Amino acid sequence: MGLENQAFSDQVNLDNIQYNRNSHWERSQKPDPGEEESLYNEKNYYYTFVHNILYDEEHSPLNLIHHFERKEPKLSNHIYYYIKKKGRNNPYKLIVDAMNINLYATGVGFLSFYLKNEDCTQNSPEDILAINQYGRRIMPPFFNDTRLRNEISEYIRIEGLNQTVYFEDFKSYTPYDSWQPSSSIKKLICELVTNLSIDPIIDDRMFVATWYKNNQLSQQFTNNAKAYFDSQDPFSDYWYRFLFIDGSNATCQNEKMKKELLEEHTYYRWQQWSSLYGISKYSLVYLTNNEVPDYLIEYFQTIYARMAELVLVQRASMLRFSGEITKVSQLSNQDVEAVSKRVSSLYKEYIRFVNQIYFREITAQDQGIEMYNKLHSCLQMESYIKDLDGEIEELHQYISLMEDRERNKKASLLNDIATLFLPITVITGFWGMNQISEVMEENGELSTGFIIQSLLLIIGTLCAICIIYKRKRKL
């Protein structure tokens, strides 16, 4: 978090973040009025040991998350998120229901927009695809798209926040601005904090969690178990584009592969009740009819959306650890003790991550277990955690080897000093300190005894130096 040259524990310490107390973001550690029952249901859904990473609560002994909410959406229904698509006269206009920032004790953050589409003139199946596709980009994936506008919108504009317009048309990007999020994203975050390094960890796209109710679409799959993957069924093509956030054409043009992907990423437990879920590394989607019970929508917007965020935080944290491992491994020319401290700090935070954030299971509910496992599978979490374990262990072994070499150097130096003084010790011990002859004879010349003793000291010292030199050459 902007403290790259410090120990990892200092980099990810939430208490080191400098918050702007005068911003329009406020830390929220209690549910808003009217949300108490929903929060109760949600917390009962998850195991208690998961709560520390999901909820920012007062007096919590483990501070793993700081949760902030934007003030204005709580006070006004006239805050809008505009998405201007190429070729469409008017921009899509969505209501901003809420905006949150979650900062986690692994050095990652999560900015969320909660948007509502209540305009029936922009609610067709193709409109939903376009809104999801063009509204999620935080930077151009290809530079020539700043001209072509095939993947990004002509602009995204947020109005109604503190009388400030947050606008991004991607025209200011240069070929040297790779991996730079849009200026409006940076501006929103920097209004809360000033000492953070803002770097996209996963991709140029926001993760999309979307619920869409459409009777015509739901009728096509409710009583047809094969509808979502059958290439002969027109619903299959739309479901693929909806699930994988493809605005125009499906990005898979092989029927066999397309079927495999749809079977892998579709969660169909409640299909005959007109509910179909889709899960991918970029999306969590929910397609229903118009008569879907309100509590199912609430579950999707709270429990399942929070579950998806947890898995994304786990994934982003792994990338954060992997990046830190790369940085530390490049410090081999620095002081061993300093590098050792960096490695120890990294190892300590990784152990905390494994024990308090990366869970194999987070709920006893069957549907929750199945969806959590599918999220983990889609993001290949098992292989990533295995690789990260190997990287951490290799780094730990490497620094242990460096420490052993440093200890051997110090031990060798002590041996050299002992070897150097060995002749002196032997000679003085042999002659006895009280037996050393007078330095000068009565005639003013050096005494014979002193000369002999001096020669012996010189010869012994030279022998010791030769021994040390030969030892160094062997090493």
Residue 113 forms part of a structural domain: yes
Return d(Cα 194, Cα 2) in angstroms, integer: 10
The parent domain of residue 361 ranges over 314-405
Q: What pLDDT shows up at residue 95?
A: 98
Strand partners, 212: 287
Domain boundary among 261, 292, 323: 292
Which residues have a Cβ under 8 Å from the Cβ of 319 and sit 6 or more positions away?
A: 201, 202
Residue closest to 99 by CA, chosen among 121, 66, 74, 119: 74
Rg (CA), the chain: 33
Q: Output the pLDDT for position 1.
A: 43
Q: Which of 388, 405, 422 is the last residue of a domain?
A: 405
Strands 208-213 and 80-84, by their bridges, are unpaired
In a domain, 469, yes or no: yes
Paired tokens of 57: 């609560």
Q: Hey, is 329 helix, strand or coil?
A: helix
254 shares its domain with 276: yes
Give the model's pLDDT for residue 195: 79
**Is residue 18 located within the same domain as residue 31?**
yes
Q: Using CA atoms, how far apart are residues 82 and 165, in angstroms rounded to an integer?
A: 11
Q: How far apart are CA 302 and CA 287, in angstroms?
A: 16
- What 3-state DSSP class applies to 403? helix
Closest C-alpha to 92, from 77, 80, 103, 102: 80
What are 34's two structure tokens?
């009217």
Coil vs helix vs strand at 164: strand
Q: What is Dmax (Cα atoms) for the chain?
A: 125
Number of domains composing the chain: 4
Read off the tokens for 204.
Answer: 């140029």
142 and 267 co-located in one domain: no
State the Cα–Cα distance between residues 295 and 289, nearest whole angstrom: 14
Q: CB under 8 Å, gap of 24 or more: what pairs does 161-164 form?
A: 161/24, 161/70, 161/72, 161/79, 161/96, 162/24, 162/72
Is 144 found in the same domain as 2? yes
333 in helix, strand or coil? Answer: coil
Here the tokens at position 74 are 């709580």
The C-alpha atoms of residue 145 and residue 19 are separated, in whole angstroms, by 36
What is the C-alpha separation between 132 and 243, in angstroms, rounded? 10
Q: Do residue 51 and residue 190 come from a single domain?
A: yes
Within-domain flag for 303: no
Same domain? For 130 and 277 the reply is no
Q: How far are the Cα atoms of 146, 268, 275, 288, 292 from residue 297, in angstroms, in the given order? A: 37, 16, 11, 10, 8
Span between the terminal Cα atoms of the chain, in Å: 43
* Cβ–Cβ under 8 Å, residues 199 and 316: no
Q: Give yes or no: residues 275 and 379 share one domain.
A: no
Residue 186 located in a structural domain: yes
pLDDT for res 361: 97
The helix/strand/coil state of 26 is strand
Tell me which residue has tokens 């483990």: 62
Q: What is the pLDDT of residue 63?
A: 81
Q: How far apart are CA 360 and CA 382, in angstroms?
A: 10
Q: Are residues 414 and 397 in the same domain?
A: no
- pLDDT, one tens digit for every residue, the chain (475 residues): 445 678 999 999 998 899 999 999 999 998 888 889 999 999 999 999 999 999 998 877 788 999 999 999 999 999 999 999 999 999 999 999 999 999 999 999 999 999 999 999 999 999 999 999 999 999 999 999 999 999 999 999 999 998 888 999 999 999 998 889 999 999 999 999 987 888 887 788 999 999 999 999 999 999 999 999 998 899 999 999 999 999 888 999 999 999 999 999 999 999 999 999 999 999 999 999 999 998 899 999 999 999 999 999 999 999 999 999 988 888 767 777 888 888 889 999 999 999 999 999 999 999 999 999 999 999 999 999 999 999 998 888 877 777 666 666 666 666 656 655 655 565 565 555 444 445 555 555 556 666 666 666 666 666 666 665 565 555 5
Cβ neighbours for 181, distance < 8 A, ≥ 6 positions apart: 138, 139, 198, 200
Q: Are residues 272 and 191 both part of a single domain?
A: no
Query: Rounded CA gap, 318 and 350, in Å?
Result: 9
Residue 306 lies in a domain: no
Are 284 and 302 in contact by the 8 Å Cβ rule? The answer is no
- Establish if 302 belongs to a structural domain: no
What region, left, alpha or beta, does residue 179 occupy, with left being phi > 0 and alpha being psi -120 to 50 degrees? left
Q: Which of 360, 375, 405 is the last residue of a domain?
A: 405
How many Cβ atoms sit within 10 Å of the Cβ of residue 298?
14
301 part of a folded domain: no
* Contact (CB, 8 A) for 234 and 216: no
Tell me, yes or no, whether 26 and 135 share the same domain.
yes
The DSSP letter of residue 300 is I
Q: Are residues 151 and 258 in the same domain?
A: no
Residue 36, Cα to own-chain centre: how many angstroms? 30
Q: Distance (Å, rounded) from C-alpha 55 to C-alpha 65?
A: 7
Helices 366-378 and 305-329, axial angle in degrees (round to 10): 40
Shared-domain flag, residues 122 and 200: yes
Q: Is position 261 within any domain?
A: yes
